[in-house]
Structure 1
Amino acid sequence: MKELLIKNRNFASLFFGRLVTNMGDSIYYVAAMWLVYELGGSAFYTGLAGFLTLIPGTLQFLVGPLVDRWQIQKMLVRTQIIQAILVMLIPLAHFMGYLTVSFILIIMPIISALNQFTYPGQAAILPRIVKKDQLVKSNSLFSFAFQGVDLAFNALAGILITLVGAITLYMVDVVTFIAAAILFSFLKVKSETKSKEKQTVGVALAEYKKDLIEGFTIVFKSHLAKFLLGSIVANFAIGSIYAILPAFADHRGGSELYGLYLAAISGGALIGALGASWLERYPLGKLTIVLFFLGGTTWMISGFIPMNSLSILLFGLSWIPIGATNVIIGAALQSIVPQHLLGRIFSVTSSLGAMAMPFGSLIGGYLAGIFTSTSVYIGSAGGILFISLVWILNKTLRSLPHTSKLNPEEVGLADESVTTLS
């Protein structure tokens, strides 16, 4: 990993840019959700905020063809600058006396929409700047950038909200997004798309539509679609937990606990990501079944335990399977999917997998008002257990070998129509 950061300047620019922008994302999310909870006064508003923030993720498939055709470095820089401008509007509205919960609910989904370019952009550019045998290590390192920063800054943001207030944290966000834009500007990657003559709007839209259809066709003609069933139910549960967590933490102690529960999510996912290189030696099918069964069980138990420290610890452990399998499956797909299709494949699978999250957030917030946030918290563990059940019942999934032996045939990507698409 040290070799990647020291000798590969493109990787270092992408990695540190992602590290800094994740700092901004973590601080922004905690500040925004807590501010919505304070201004709205109930879990319904945090559920609505979660719904609006997660909705753009379901449309990430629209980004895929653009990522495959645009210059990724310029795209990353511009999205960071626009996010900095949007975040700055919230402190300005506060100082001018115009800040309302409605204003924040408008800004949040716009910022979230801009974030949809980052992940498929990173997924598409990474195979161009590292060797094939470095992909698992590279993805582990990026998961560290994502989850490690979340671990530190989610907990820190929860404490800082109490000390300095959410508005001050928004001003810090502006700096992080500008810094990330500067780091991304150092990327020097040759585009793999062929240079083309200037196109009319009609021709450009026709090609975009063609690329979009190809992305969905590849996913549904392969076994990748089978991965999505459990993912949809799990993401519904994850959406609900993010919505009710402010109320759940407030019931148990306050904003400090909210930050700590969010940090537990990041910590568990980080441990899983860092352990992915070790776990990838086991058959992917059996590994997924065991990990998600243990994860769902510890999540459920954490909701019943009155001791906050132990509850947070068990909740964090339940996120280890998510962090590990995200890295292992992501790296496997990067190694077997043709590079010119990566943006489309990753954006389509991400969109379909995330489709249930905003509805989970909205319904979770609503149910917390009818029952309790604790009931929704415990019930959400069923979504993690469902993944284990799906993989047990599906022969293709439970029979998947370890990733070093995984090939296009194993996931139904060996069809000639898939490998020759351009």
Structure 2
Amino acid sequence: MMKNSFRLLWSGQMLANLGDVLYIVGIITFLYASTESSFVLAMLPFLNTFGRFMSGMVSPILMNRYSLKTLLVASQVSKTIVLSVLATWNTLAQVPVLFLFVFILTIALLDGWALPATDAMLPRIVKKEELVKANSFVSIVTESTQLGGWAIGGVLASLIGGQNLLWLTFILFVTSTVLLNGILDPVPFKKHNGEKRMIGELSEGFKVIWRSKLFRVIHIEMVMEAIANVVWVAAIIYVYVDEVLGRSEAWWGYLNTCFFLGMIAGGSICARFHNRLEHKLRSYMLGASFVVVVMTLSFGFNQVAWVALVLAFFHGIFGQVKGVGLNTFLQKEATGEQLPKIYALQSGVLSLIFGVSTLLFGALTEWVGVQYVFMLSGILLWIGTVYLMFYRFVFPKYCKTQEVKIHM
């Protein structure tokens, strides 16, 4: 039964994530055709990030009142309804740009509590000794969807048009809703309505993290990583390709593809060797963290195009191993009641930090040059690695496990 719920969770979220990509591609075709403005297009990721941040910050209140499954299904049902309104309106008449922004923000707000709910649901329906493999598999699915979704969306947009992409997304959202509704949560829900003041509910995740040294260490490292990884956003990579590599804009796509392929490969390695990783998860996580530092600094110094592809690929591999390690330690040590609150705060705060850091690193790229920005990123990651090494004692040295089989 747990295996079936796991299949429903990852497949439902895969279809939802693919739909999120396709509907954005469809809206991009409308916006570019009507405005031809890069600033207007830049509003899409901003509204997405801002909406998910706002929703993530208030999600602890919802999680105290509704079960994780209810939140997952309600999020997807609401997104489906909003998208159907957008698709119908745009079929009858072109939706004004301002209202397109409203739809994007609304869907992002509705999606904001789905990610922490999904992350918190995973350890409930997967055995602890299977978490490394399960997290790795979900990472593979997520990164594959991101990598393939944009390529598929671009092809479909040229073949069937942006309007039909909206209706295709509607079908994906409906299917996703049906799948998520079939999940069985084995943990009984305890409603906390009226027991605490609202400000206390919003701060629950922070209190849980702050009171545990392990959770503090994990999230301080995640904050450092969120700031440092801003260098991989399109705007900075595009400048790197133009000014450092001296190549055409097509190389921006090559680098991103290698990076995502590396993440998929890293997830596959974790899934394949999950038993070995479970036994020495701390050592592998710290080793991967060090390699990520080396890859980032090397990327900043490098001026050879094919070497950049190799570095991006290996950065993706070891970055994925590190991420799976941090997430698995968090899931193993937190209780079923703590995890939703932790993930809710984590999702909102990291989204905000990433958004602000994008603006700061973008400005630094213009002021000091893109190579120095990569070096700054490497230094931040090095500080984070030293921090992890210093507090490595808070991570369990070995994760006891047994040989098990899990069917994804």
TM-score (norm 1): 0.76
Secondary structure of the equivalent of 1:63?
A: helix
- Note closer, same or farther for the CA distance 1:42–1:360 as it changes in structure 2 (3 Å cut): farther
Match of 1:286 in 2: 286
Match of 1:235 among 220, 223, 226: 226
- Note closer, same or farther for the CA distance 1:194–1:404 as it changes in structure 2 (3 Å cut): same
Q: CA deviation at 1:139?
A: 1.3
* Contact 1:22-1:145 within 8 A present in 2 as well: no
Residue 269 of structure 2 aligns with an amino acid whose one-letter code is: G
**Pairing 1:321–2:318 present:** yes
**Pairing 1:157–2:143 present:** no
Match of 1:20 among 15, 19, 29: 15
Tell me the distance in 1 between the aligned counterparts of 2:360 and 2:236.
Answer: 14
Deviates more, 1:266-275 or 1:382-391: 382-391
Q: Deviations over 1:15-43 (max 9, x none)?
A: 22122212212323444456555655454
Residue 45 of structure 2 aligns with an amino acid whose one-letter code is: G
* Contact 2:15-2:173 within 8 A present in 1 as well: yes
Match of 1:272 among 255, 258, 266: 266
* Contact 2:266-2:316 within 8 A present in 1 as well: yes
- Note closer, same or farther for the CA distance 1:242–1:108 as it changes in structure 2 (3 Å cut): farther
Tell me the distance in 2 between the aligned counterparts of 1:119 and 1:324.
Answer: 20
* Contact 1:215-1:345 within 8 A present in 2 as well: yes
Secondary structure of the equivalent of 1:188?
A: coil
Tell me the distance in 2 between the aligned counterparts of 1:295 and 1:83.
Answer: 39
- Note closer, same or farther for the CA distance 1:392–1:272 as it changes in structure 2 (3 Å cut): same
Tell me the distance in 2 between the aligned counterparts of 1:380 and 1:28.
Answer: 33
Match of 2:406 in 1: none
- Note closer, same or farther for the CA distance 1:222–1:296 as it changes in structure 2 (3 Å cut): same
Unaligned runs of 5+ in 2: 401-408
Q: Deviations over 1:256-303 (max 9, x none)?
A: 87776654443232222222335563525632432321342465468x
Match of 1:349 in 2: 346
- Note closer, same or farther for the CA distance 1:286–1:37 as it changes in structure 2 (3 Å cut): farther
Q: CA deviation at 1:150?
A: 2.0
Secondary structure of the equivalent of 1:319?
A: helix
Q: CA deviation at 1:181?
A: 0.2
- Note closer, same or farther for the CA distance 1:126–1:160 as it changes in structure 2 (3 Å cut): same
* Contact 1:87-1:174 within 8 A present in 2 as well: yes
Tell me the distance in 2 between the aligned counterparts of 1:38 and 1:236.
Answer: 34
CA-based RMSD of the aligned residues comes to 3.8
Match of 2:134 in 1: 138
Deviates more, 1:241-250 or 1:26-35: 241-250
Match of 1:399 in 2: 392
Q: CA deviation at 1:346?
A: 1.8
Q: Deviations over 1:128-168 (max 9, x none)?
A: 22221111111112112211222222222233334444333
**Pairing 1:174–2:167 present:** no
Q: CA deviation at 1:395?
A: 6.3
Residue 327 of structure 1 aligns with an amino acid whose one-letter code is: V
Residue 394 of structure 1 aligns with an amino acid whose one-letter code is: Y
* Contact 1:230-1:386 within 8 A present in 2 as well: no
Secondary structure of the equivalent of 1:194?
A: coil
Match of 2:205 among 215, 222, 240: 215
Unaligned runs of 5+ in 1: 1-5, 408-422
**Pairing 1:54–2:44 present:** no
Identity of aligned pairs, percent?
Answer: 19
Deviates more, 1:6-15 or 1:166-175: 6-15
Match of 1:390 in 2: 383
Tell me the distance in 2 between the aligned counterparts of 1:261 and 1:73.
Answer: 37
Tell me the distance in 2 between the aligned counterparts of 1:169 and 1:107.
Answer: 15
Tell me the distance in 1 between the aligned counterparts of 2:27 and 2:252.
Answer: 13
Residue 81 of structure 1 aligns with an amino acid whose one-letter code is: V
Secondary structure of the equivalent of 1:187?
A: coil
Q: Deviations over 1:293-351 (max 9, x none)?
A: 1342465468x5557xx755643443333322222211111111121111011222232
Tell me the distance in 2 between the aligned counterparts of 1:361 and 1:89.
Answer: 32
- Note closer, same or farther for the CA distance 1:250–1:383 as it changes in structure 2 (3 Å cut): closer
Match of 1:111 among 97, 107, 111: 107
Q: CA deviation at 1:390?
A: 1.7
Tell me the distance in 1 between the aligned counterparts of 2:81 and 2:92.
Answer: 17
- Note closer, same or farther for the CA distance 1:50–1:195 as it changes in structure 2 (3 Å cut): closer
* Contact 2:67-2:189 within 8 A present in 1 as well: no
Match of 1:10 in 2: 5
- Note closer, same or farther for the CA distance 1:400–1:8 as it changes in structure 2 (3 Å cut): same
* Contact 1:43-1:243 within 8 A present in 2 as well: no
- Note closer, same or farther for the CA distance 1:284–1:34 as it changes in structure 2 (3 Å cut): farther
Tell me the distance in 2 between the aligned counterparts of 1:312 and 1:396.
Answer: 29
Match of 2:404 in 1: none
Residue 266 of structure 1 aligns with an amino acid whose one-letter code is: F
Deviates more, 1:354-363 or 1:342-351: 354-363
* Contact 1:11-1:129 within 8 A present in 2 as well: yes
Q: CA deviation at 1:173?
A: 1.1
TM-score (norm 2): 0.78
- Note closer, same or farther for the CA distance 1:225–1:108 as it changes in structure 2 (3 Å cut): farther
- Note closer, same or farther for the CA distance 1:121–1:16 as it changes in structure 2 (3 Å cut): same
Tell me the distance in 1 between the aligned counterparts of 2:48 and 2:72.
Answer: 20
- Note closer, same or farther for the CA distance 1:124–1:275 as it changes in structure 2 (3 Å cut): same
